[in-house]
Structure 1
Amino acid sequence: MEQQSGRPGPPPGCPATGSTRLYGPRFGAEPDTYYEHLRDLGPSAPVDVAPGVRVELVTSYDAALYILQNPAWFVRDSRRWTAWNEGRVPADSPALPMMGYRPNALFSDGAAHARLRLAVTESLAHLDELRLAHLTQRCASYLISRLGTEQPGRAELMAEYARPLPLLVFGELFGCPPAIWDRVIAGISGIFAGTAGADQSLGEALGELISLKRSRPDTDLTSRLMQHSANLSDEEVLHQLVTLLSGGTAPSAALIGTAGALVLGEGWHTDLPVEDAVNQALWNYSPIANYAAHYPTQDVELGGRILRANDPVLISFAAANTDPRLAEHRERLSAKAHLAYGAGPHACPAKDAALTIAVTALETLLKQLPDVTTRVPFEDLDWVPTPWSRSLVALPVEFTAPAAVPSPERRETASPDPRSPAPARPAAQQEPAAGPRPGLFSRFLAWTRRSDQGG
């Protein structure tokens, strides 16, 4: 319960253990209050990231950097997790999809990590920045063409732009047929929404993609992973794809949304480049807020607290980036010194690509809708209440609706001239029964083909 005046009372938690509950509506609304309280307890403090799931959360920038850069003492393999091995973590815990072991580079150490990461980084190295920017522009243009279809001049940018855009981009990068990628989109979206069976659906769709690339390899990211000299098994390829997809889409969507809210808000200086808004979002609203579970290989003393061997230690990228001790050094730090993309051997291998997608998405939006503005002040926007990410729930905007020129997607079904007689149709060509509506990726590719054909 908050105090009636002055600083709010301590965040909710467990009085017996002193842990803080790092989830729920109050945390989503005021995470900085939580981080301020936790900093008073030292460079790390116990928190609950879900009911029955306790971790040590690192809020200090220096301590976070120390752990991220010391793989000998702090490892990532969550099969070490004591509470899980002892059956003290609920089997249906929402923390398990984020912390449970997967055979990918993120949860591996030593030689296994080096092998998997090399396959990922060398496959990503083939991405051309100009091609990626052009692809992002096309995806952005398609989504912008759909804005305002429900209510002219109004849209909700998180659902209609920020979230679908990275999914479209990755579908092209993975070289995935539309029918399969529509299912991938449904699966990954279901995972983040907590939909039952979404994980299995995603795995089945990606398994079909891998089978297809075994028989018909190409120059896409999926094929390059499969052709890499590390000789990844199909299961390993699948898990690297899941990691790239989950780590590259949801955080990018959050970054596009938050930076967009900043640059479209009343307080933004219009002469500043979009990159400034993106960097501000990465520093102050880290899309991946609290993650990267590490497991001490032995008991470690950190700032007066003992981090027990094989108990999870999470990094609060959000708290570390806003550590008050950094304030006096921020002027001298590089704009990229934030920890939003991690650090050390497990730092995000695709951060340059992520920045290209975010910056291009916002630049394209501003170019095609130059008068777009937010309908809600930045300080009144709602944020998701999970501990893992810092993402807007919604970003309502308004703009001058463009002239009503049919998009390539609609031109085939445009109404005929009322003065012309209706053409006769043979019985065999009568309108077929309506089937399931094509998915997002199918609609985008259809729009792209018509656009390339000039209408």
Structure 2
Amino acid sequence: MPQPFDAQEIPPGCPAHGNVPLYGPSFGADPDGHYAHLRSFGPSAPVDIAPDVEVELITSYDAALYVLQNPASFVRDSRRWNALNEGRVPADSPALPMMSYRPNALFSDGAAHARLRQAVTDSLATVNERQLIRQTQQSAEYLISRFSSEPRGQAELIADYAQPLPLLVFSDLFGCPPEIGDRVIAGISGIFEGTPGADEVLGGALAELIALKRRRPAADLTTRLMEHSAQLSDEEVLHQLVTLLSGGTAPLTAAIGTSSALYLGEEWQTGLPVEDAVAQTLWNYAPIANYAAHYPTHDVELAGRVLRANDPVLISFAAANTDPKLTEHRQQLSAKAHLAFGAGPHACPAKDPAFMIAVTAVETLLNRLPDVEMRVPFKTLAWAPTPWSRSLVTLPIRFSPRTMPTAAAEPAHPQTVQAPQQTAPADRASRPPTAESPQNKGGLFSRFLAWTRGE
């Protein structure tokens, strides 16, 4: 059991002394204890989000809404960041990949933000709900097939299922051919794992994908972004794709893992639907825990604290959702009043598809492995010691081994629609047979596509 957080445990001489460090084993072991301590400062408090990187963290639900819904006073363009501009942020800081400016909707304001966001929301709106469910089911069934026949009847659900599933779904939605999809997955996975050169791998793969869609447009998200009336440049399309990947895959991994653990946990009430487990995850274990850096356009006083112009203000979605002042009357709030998807002009444009993917992933697991159970109690599961997300490190499960049918042998689902082609038929036909052969060393997406064809 996590021990209650004690601010006195911060060692003297530590760079974080005086600020609560929102990273490392102590934080990972008891994030809720850290948030409770920070609330004693008021609706916000100074924290170190990484070594030598100070931010103001909003822990109050009402204050979070105030910042999120006040774009005149709080903007997202991190080129304003005082400490960064003054050389006070370490060049190798793990905060930089998360907070540095990129030309995407997340870091834009005003007309520039409206233009980029409209292209993203309009493109996402064309995704067919039933098609997305089927894509998620097919990806889930493939991943389950890889471990369900394990003689010991055991698997590690985060690495074997929750992490790769969103990557397969997004590669499919983007219309990636096999070898580009492999590199997209390797690149984005490497970024989250801190692999050197992962940025270049992802950027190169997406640039190649965009060039392919210029030559051969198709019915996929990449083409829709490129053909949108906002007339995005290829660089802008690339950065919106990176935003969708980074903003979608890691939070979905966390949501799928935590929702599965809650549903299989010792305290879950039998008979409640999977939707309730996902909703409880979004409220109590916000997948994006602390993020959404804002920069005050002028000094702002907040309950006696002064938020300095151009000093970063981060939103603790995790702390805001569990704000004691909120929980007293949470029953009277809408089930969707949580801030897991943000609020205001930068609220997540894909919240409904994300919820649908998470629910479908958990339901497919339960349907395919009906006797699945956790090998350890929920309360003993470890959380990743990162400030950015609330994600389980591992989720060990056991089940009765079974053989999953290949996709080609499965009976048609009553609500199935045809999955979208990844490339034009001519492209598929022109590829050497060995390029997608399951006997060869193709990546995850290549092997998944081969499986869908029964190879």
Q: State if a TM-score over 0.5 links the two structures.
A: yes
Q: Which residue pairs with 2:414 in the alignment?
A: none
- Taking the TM superposition and a 5 Å limit, the aligned residue runs for 1:400-439 are 400-402=400-402, 404=403, 407=406, 437-439=441-443
CA distance in 2 between partners of 1:7 and 1:284 (Å): 18
Q: Which residue pairs with 1:354 in the alignment?
A: 354
The secondary structure found in structure 2 opposite 1:331 is helix
Give the deviation of 1:438 after TM superposition: 1.1
The secondary structure found in structure 1 opposite 2:49 is strand
The one of 7, 10, 13 equivalent to 1:12 is 10
1:26 aligns with 2:26: yes
Give the deviation of 1:12 after TM superposition: 2.7
Unaligned stretches of 5+ in structure 1? 411-433
Q: Which residue pairs with 1:413 in the alignment?
A: none
- Taking the TM superposition and a 5 Å limit, the aligned residue runs for 1:54-453 are 54-402=54-402, 404=403, 407=406, 437-450=441-454
Structure 1 16/263 Cα, relative in aligned 2: closer, same or farther at 3 Å? closer
Give the deviation of 1:437 after TM superposition: 1.6
Structure 1 51/343 Cα, relative in aligned 2: closer, same or farther at 3 Å? same
The secondary structure found in structure 1 opposite 2:371 is coil
CA distance in 1 between partners of 2:68 and 2:43 (Å): 14
AA aligned opposite 1:362: V
Give the TM-score, by structure 1 length. Answer: 0.90
The secondary structure found in structure 1 opposite 2:212 is helix
Alignment deviations for residues 363-406 of structure 1 (CA, whole Å, 9 cap, x no partner): 1111111110000111111111010000001100000111x467
AA aligned opposite 1:439: G
Structure 1 405/97 Cα, relative in aligned 2: closer, same or farther at 3 Å? closer
How many residue pairs match? The answer is 425
Q: 2:148·2:404 contact (CA, 8 Å) conserved in 1?
A: no
CA distance in 2 between partners of 1:261 and 1:170 (Å): 23
Give the deviation of 1:128 after TM superposition: 1.1
Q: 2:301·2:307 contact (CA, 8 Å) conserved in 1?
A: yes
Give the deviation of 1:436 after TM superposition: 5.9
CA distance in 2 between partners of 1:263 and 1:405 (Å): 23
Unaligned stretches of 5+ in structure 2? 410-437
Structure 1 or 2, whichever has the larger Rg, is 1
Alignment deviations for residues 329-379 of structure 1 (CA, whole Å, 9 cap, x no partner): 111011110000000000000000000100000111111111100001111
Where in structure 1 do 4 or more consecutive aligned residues deviate above 2 Å? 6-18, 148-152, 404-410
CA distance in 1 between partners of 2:296 and 2:66 (Å): 12
The secondary structure found in structure 2 opposite 1:271 is coil
Q: Which residue pairs with 1:51 in the alignment?
A: 51
CA distance in 2 between partners of 1:362 and 1:7 (Å): 32
CA distance in 1 between partners of 2:131 and 2:178 (Å): 20
Alignment deviations for residues 10-56 of structure 1 (CA, whole Å, 9 cap, x no partner): 46376997311110011011001100110001110000011111100
Identical aligned pairs, as a percentage? Answer: 72
Give the TM-score, by structure 2 length. Answer: 0.90
Q: 1:61·1:323 contact (CA, 8 Å) conserved in 2?
A: yes
Q: 1:174·1:220 contact (CA, 8 Å) conserved in 2?
A: yes
Q: 1:11·1:34 contact (CA, 8 Å) conserved in 2?
A: no
Alignment deviations for residues 117-169 of structure 1 (CA, whole Å, 9 cap, x no partner): 00000000001111101111111111111124555310010001111011000
CA distance in 1 between partners of 2:163 and 2:17 (Å): 38
Structure 1 405/315 Cα, relative in aligned 2: closer, same or farther at 3 Å? closer
The secondary structure found in structure 2 opposite 1:388 is coil
CA distance in 2 between partners of 1:205 and 1:293 (Å): 28
Q: Which residue pairs with 1:416 in the alignment?
A: none
Alignment deviations for residues 294-343 of structure 1 (CA, whole Å, 9 cap, x no partner): 00000000011000000000000000000000122111011110000000
Alignment deviations for residues 250-296 of structure 1 (CA, whole Å, 9 cap, x no partner): 10010000000000112212200000000100000000000000000
AA aligned opposite 2:10: P
CA distance in 1 between partners of 2:302 and 2:155 (Å): 48
The secondary structure found in structure 2 opposite 1:90 is coil
Q: 2:123·2:221 contact (CA, 8 Å) conserved in 1?
A: yes
